[in-house]
Chain A
Amino acid sequence: MGCEQSGKTCLLQGNEAIVEGALAAGCRFFAGYPITPASEIAELMSMRLPEVGGAFIQMEDEIAGIGAVIGASLAGVKSLTATSGPGFSLMQENLGFACITETPCVIVNVMRGGPSTGLPTSPAQGDVMQARWGTHGTHPIIVLSVSSVIDSFEVTIHAFNISEKYRIPVILLSDEVVAHTRESITIPDKSEFEVVNRIRPGVPPEWFHPYEDNSRGVPPMAAFGDGYRHHITGLVHDVHGYPTQRPDEIDAFQRRQFRKITNGFSEIQMTRSVMLDDADIAVIAYGSVSRSALRAIKMARERGIKAGLLHLTTLFPFPRRIVDPVLRKCRAVLVPEMNLGQISREVKRVNLSAKVEKLNRLDGQLITPEEIFEKLLTL
């Protein structure tokens, strides 16, 4: 169970790799509620966190899970929760609180078929737009996806790093296939990956303004107990953290939220290009479907079709600067998804000239390489 030693090769499932990634990133708090197909994350966390001086708690529901996670983060501890569709819906209210208070935290949603109880043990990608727009109000958010066990480890570390650096909740989308597929993984040594921690205030407490703007747009963050007594509220607040109704302060606050993310686009937007250099047909895919897509473009290449893959790790902010040249260069783009077209809409928003085709499955089954290959033949 688990794979705590670096350098050791283990056979892990995606959910377990998320736990190892989180621990490697310095996560020391987990609160959540059991739900298929995400429960293994909670189970392993309950074992591993007390070993490393962290804390695990199973709460009464997902609302409480994310509440405790935000609380722990405000107390200075990197925090994680994990759930699936129905639980993710319950978290949306407090997710908004994490956004407006700029509290770093990572929320894993292992997607299953929906809506409602849907298909608890089958994969889907139906929560992409919920991840982006699920909570209320105007807000930026970061949504990452994982496609394999090694991805589950590495992207979880990125998720924490970005969350800490930009003071923003990060949604990590997995799916039932990635979560339960076992693959071998060698946990890298600490020296092989970067761990980012939030910047703490360096000024004396009396000079500290918890929401003061700076060139990065990310104010240093004090933890409760650090001696920087301050106020946190879900109301729109001024630089002191106190509620404000002043239009100029409200506008500046809201716009800073977006500016800080825009500043970091180049590192936030993670994608992987495979055989795209000479491609005239591209597949844009994410999650477990990107695995099928990789196989499909190889099959197409064997047939002499110049196909390539753009694998998206970052779904939001949508990596349009990377998608745009692919669309300019390729005559057709295929977006296979286990929904009726959520990321394909984003691709179409960027699109200028290429034909954007969809390939969708809603039956709880993974899209196969053959299906993508067959579709590529028609483009």
Chain B
Amino acid sequence: MTEKTIAESARLRHEYLRHDKKFPHVWCPGCGIGIILGSLIRAVDRLGLNKDKLVLASGIGCSGRLPVYVDFNTIHTTHGRALTFATGIKLANPALNVITVMGDGDATAIGGNHFIHAARRNINLTAIIINNQIYGMTGGQYSPTTPYGSLSATSTYGHIEHAFSISDLAITAGASYVAKGTVYHVPALDKLITGGIEKEGFSVIEIMSNCHTQYGRRNKMPDPVTMMKWFRDQAVSVTKAAKMAPDELAEKFIIGVLADRDKPSYTTEYQHIRDRALKVAKNE
């Protein structure tokens, strides 16, 4: 690191991490969530968001512990429900910037219903989904994104369910902005998160992250470096993927901005409802 980057990193830590919160954090050494926290802080800093007007909401699991470390308005909600709380916060005070951080099981198993409906409503929230393909905190049970054939604490003979793609689900459900990144491709990740926060409407940033402790250890990737290399080798950028044949992409996943479309957000639409209701009330 150069002197300049060290100084920059110190500034970000001072500006955005809570000084009265006891460190160390709860995550395992080498966990990808720390990288995502860094990316999120850089995105917020780049956008110059007012910390007083920023709300960070999470659910339960390793990802759920992220908000407590940052100096925003933070809320650690119940399992799978972060988007429901965030919806209430945003509607009650649309001037707030509301970001949610969820895990794969959190957002798409127990919270799957909330996730598709938040996307369908296109409510102006940013959903960061940390996909480590496993339930980490509870001890490595399979999640909706655990790959077929993988070993986990609840699939000791091999996983017989098929994973679904969070990004594809978000696109189909109607999110305005859908992006996918990894903890290996960090500068790109900073941009994806920045883009998601900036976007009017529902934004999803799915981030492949390493849980070497619970997933990698059981699936021949027992350390962060091996998992990082796996992300490097499996990820294909959107532009590159466009030139590849479907069978070449079979074992890969696509990273970058997967959907970016403009439609009015829920809070904008709701303001129209208020105007209409007032007009009707006056005429009565």
Contact = CB atoms under 8 A, between A and B. Distances in A.
Contacts of A73: 88, 92
Given A50-B273, A51-B281, A68-B91, A243 B81 contact: no
A70 B270 contact: no
| Majority secondary structure, A binding face | mixed
A60 B114 contact: yes
Interface stretch (A110-118, A213-221, A233-241, A325-333): A233-241
Nearest to B273: A50
B109 to A, nearest CB: 14
Interface in B50-72: 51-53, 55, 57, 67-68, 71-72
Nearest to B21: A242
A97 interface: yes
Looking at A29, A64, A76, A240, the one whose CB has the most chain B CB atoms below 10 A away is: A64
Contact of B89 (A224, A226, A242): A224
B68 A231 contact: yes
Interface string B211-245: 00000000000000000000000000000000000
A34 B280 CA distance: 24
A339 interface: no
Contacts of B22: 242
Given A55-B270, A229-B52, A75 B88 contact: yes
Contacts of A226: 52
B117 interface: yes
Interface in A58-109: 59-61, 63-77, 79, 93-94, 97
Given A47-B277, A60-B113, A72 B73 contact: no
A305 B22 CA distance: 69
Nearest to A48: B277
Contacts of A29: 88, 91-92
A53 B274 contact: yes
B271 to A, nearest CB: 9
A81 B276 CA distance: 24
A52 to B, nearest CB: 9
A68 B73 contact: no
Contacts of B18: 231
A224 B56 CA distance: 10
Interface in B39-54: 51-53
Contact of A76 (B53, B71, B72, B92): B92
B36 interface: no
B67 A231 contact: yes
| Majority secondary structure, B binding face | helix
Contacts, number: 144
A224 B75 CA distance: 10
A227 B52 contact: yes
B3 interface: no
Contacts of A61: 113
Given A50-B277, A70-B85, A234 B96 contact: no
B93 A68 contact: no
A59 B68 contact: no
B93 A231 contact: no
Nearest to B20: A240
A72 B89 contact: yes
Contacts of A63: 81, 84, 114
A47 B91 CA distance: 16
Nearest to B73: A224
Contacts of B78: 67, 93-94, 97, 234
A368 B67 CA distance: 55
A1 to B, nearest CB: 10
Given A224-B96, A229-B73, A50 B81 contact: no
A253 to B, nearest CB: 16
A230 interface: yes
Nearest to A60: B117
Contact of A71 (B21, B87, B113): B87
A51 B52 CA distance: 28
Looking at A74, A75, A223, the one whose CB has the most chain B CB atoms below 10 A away is: A75
A257 B21 CA distance: 24
B68 A72 contact: no
Contacts of B87: 31, 57, 59, 64, 67-68, 71
A40 to B, nearest CB: 18
B76 to A, nearest CB: 4
Nearest to A55: B91
B278 interface: yes
Interface of A: 4, 28-29, 31, 47, 50-51, 53, 55, 57, 59-61, 63-77, 79, 93-94, 97, 223-227, 229-235, 240, 242-243
20 contacts: A29-B91, A47-B277, A50-B277, A51-B281, A59-B117, A64-B81, A68-B91, A71-B57, A71-B75, A71-B86, A71-B87, A75-B88, A77-B93, A224-B93, A225-B52, A231-B76, A233-B68, A233-B75, A235-B76, A242-B22
